[in-house]
A and B are shown apart, each in its own frame.
Chain A
Amino acid sequence: MKDKLNRLLDPNISKKEEDQIFEEVLKRKHDQDLRTKWQKMLTSEHGITRNNTDLSKKKETSKYIKIFLAAAACIALIVTLQLFNTTESDPYVLAQQYLSDQEILHPGASKGIADEDQNRILAIQAFNTKEYSQSIEYFQNIRTETTEDKYYHGLALLLNNRYTEAIQLFEMINSDEGQFKQEINWYQSLAYLLNKQNEEAGALLKQIKNSDWNHEQAQDLLKMIHEK
């Protein structure tokens, strides 16, 4: 590199060689700048450092973690068994089960959306990596939310256990026959149940027709609501 910088001072250097040297030395400089910047960002925003200083600490604490995990597994098993016992009669538990059983992913922005809002892209990414609170923030910052945005925004709220806000958003977009009508009916019903609004859930579940998505599950939930 030293030779190259000195070569630049040669008055007989050709334009082509000069450009090549500048390209190379500036790449070195900017790459180095980026490395420094990204190292800082990785440390501060992602908790990743080059030196694995936590290793010895991890070894010391690993046995405690194992004990803790074993205890947590036992508790989880007991809770799960209890859940299965109560599933038969509690629509709240069944709603929770339906929600966790179905993997919900955003398929990406629809074609025809000319406005490639960066917040939309980040919201979708966060949604698909299950970082729902972050996804909600990005959805809120989208300049003009489409029905699709609102639907997934509502889902992010629902999956983040913010039922009241999810219901408000679903109610807003469920008033007309839109492209997500069947999905919204289903998830809004689940949101009502999880928010202990069984009456509203029942009314909405009745609207799910034979040919609609999740009709059978809706009937199961209705049966439980009536039994309660």
Chain B
Amino acid sequence: MSRFAFYRLIEVNQQLNCFFLSNFSLTNSIPLKLNTKLRMEHKNFGLTEASFKKLIADLKRNDTYFFEQVFLKQFKETMNYLCREYKSNHEDAYDATMDALIDFRARFVDGKLQYGNLRFLFTRIASQMLFRNLKMSNTNIDGVALLAPEIDVEPTESIEELGRLNKAWHILGDSCKQLLTWHFYGKMKLSEIAEEVQKTPATIRKQKERCIKQLKDQFGLKTILKS
């Protein structure tokens, strides 16, 4: 990381801390211990450690309800931050915040996030997404070139191919969809899925192979029809 990027991050951190302190006045009615706990939860979008774990467990099963309840509420605040700090326009701030949400879900299921200061991290990721997107569209903004390399730039998606995948997916049975989603998207181990659905790991392994074969057959069929 370059020196400029490092200082910029420190600056962002300080600004966020100032924001928290000025907006979270201590009251006589709340003892110090509770205030510390309260501040900790504020830093983590109101999540307790227990609810943080629950959120991860839900996401691994592709149950996004709780995640949506917590994070969609932060959407506007994050957009406002990007517009205020980086003079971003509305659309760019919207896209960056949406990208940050998608990235955050992946980090949760990957086990890359720890209970600590999710609010700061989310804002930082949204900032980096903004820089990445602007770099992709060759728009200039101060500090863009220096912060952007931290997140890989994804290749442009093929809408046609995504449609091809969606069609094949649609034909798949519900149990296959669930198994493949939990395993590939929720990063659940096959043994964990086996425990969850009360089957043996061997059964789940075989089921996964069958599901993959079905999906590949669909791709193959569509390719033949297409050619």
A9-B216, A26-B181, A38-B98 known; A116 vs B72 contact (CB < 8 Å): no
Q: Within the assembled complex, what's the spacing in Å between the Cα atoms of A115 and B19? A: 33
A65: Cβ under 8 A from any B Cβ: no
User: Closest chain A residue to B42 by CB distance?
Assistant: A128
Q: Within the assembled complex, what's the spacing in Å between the Cα atoms of A37 and B98? A: 11
Within 8 A of B (CB), among A7-40: 8-9, 18-19, 22-23, 25-32, 34-35, 37-39
A100: Cβ under 8 A from any B Cβ: no
Q: Within the assembled complex, what's the spacing in Å between the Cα atoms of A122 and B72? A: 13
| Closest beta carbon of chain B to A104's beta carbon, Å | 7
| Closest beta carbon of chain B to A15's beta carbon, Å | 9
Residues on the A chain within 8 Å of B51, using CB = 116, 121
Count A-B contacts at CB 8 Å.
129
Range of interface residues on B (Cβ < 8 Å): 35 or more
The answer to whether B54 and A116 touch across the interface, beta carbons within 8 angstroms, is yes
Residues on the B chain within 8 Å of A108, using CB = 37-38, 41, 46, 48
Q: Within the assembled complex, what's the spacing in Å between the Cα atoms of A103 and B69? A: 24
A67: Cβ under 8 A from any B Cβ: no
**Chain A 69-109 interface mask (CB, 8 Å, partner B; 1/0):** 00000000000000000000000000000000011111111
Residues on the B chain within 8 Å of A105, using CB = 27, 30, 38
**Chain B 155-182 interface mask (CB, 8 Å, partner A; 1/0):** 1011011101110010000000000110
A6-B223, A38-B98, A48-B76 known; A22 vs B162 contact (CB < 8 Å): no
Within 8 A of A (CB), among B21-44: 25, 27-30, 34-35, 37-38, 41-42
B185: Cβ under 8 A from any A Cβ: yes
The answer to whether B91 and A52 touch across the interface, beta carbons within 8 angstroms, is yes
B212: Cβ under 8 A from any A Cβ: yes
| Closest beta carbon of chain A to B134's beta carbon, Å | 16
Residues on the A chain within 8 Å of B101, using CB = 34, 38
Q: Which listed residue (B91, B185, B223) contacts A26, Cβ 8 A?
A: B185
A104-B29, A108-B48, A125-B70 known; A31 vs B102 contact (CB < 8 Å): yes
Q: Within the assembled complex, what's the spacing in Å between the Cα atoms of A51 and B68? A: 21
Q: Which listed residue (B30, B48, B72) contacts A45, Cβ 8 A?
A: B72
Residues on the A chain within 8 Å of B180, using CB = 22, 26
The answer to whether B27 and A5 touch across the interface, beta carbons within 8 angstroms, is no
Residues on the A chain within 8 Å of B98, using CB = 35, 38-39
Residues on the A chain within 8 Å of B164, using CB = 5
How many chain-A residues does the 8 Å CB contact rule pick out?
51
Q: Within the assembled complex, what's the spacing in Å between the Cα atoms of A116 and B58? A: 14
Q: Within the assembled complex, what's the spacing in Å between the Cα atoms of A104 and B73? A: 21
The answer to whether A107 and B90 touch across the interface, beta carbons within 8 angstroms, is no
Within 8 A of A (CB), among B41-98: 41-42, 46-48, 50-51, 54, 62, 64, 66, 68-70, 72-73, 75-76, 79, 89-91, 94-95, 98
User: Closest chain B residue to A103 by CB distance?
Assistant: B27
Closest 5 CB pairs of A and B: A52-B90, A107-B34, A125-B46, A26-B184, A1-B161
Instruction: Sample 11 A-B pairs with CB under 8 A, ordered by A number.
Output: A2-B160, A9-B216, A26-B185, A30-B62, A37-B64, A105-B30, A105-B38, A107-B30, A109-B48, A122-B69, A125-B73
Given contacts A26-B185, A108-B38, 12 further A-B contacts (CB under 8 A): A26-B180, A32-B157, A34-B101, A38-B101, A48-B94, A102-B27, A103-B27, A108-B48, A109-B48, A118-B66, A183-B29, A213-B29
Residues of A within 8 A of B (CB): 1-2, 5-6, 8-9, 18-19, 22-23, 25-32, 34-35, 37-39, 41-42, 45-46, 48-52, 55, 102-109, 116, 118, 121-122, 124-125, 128-129, 183, 213
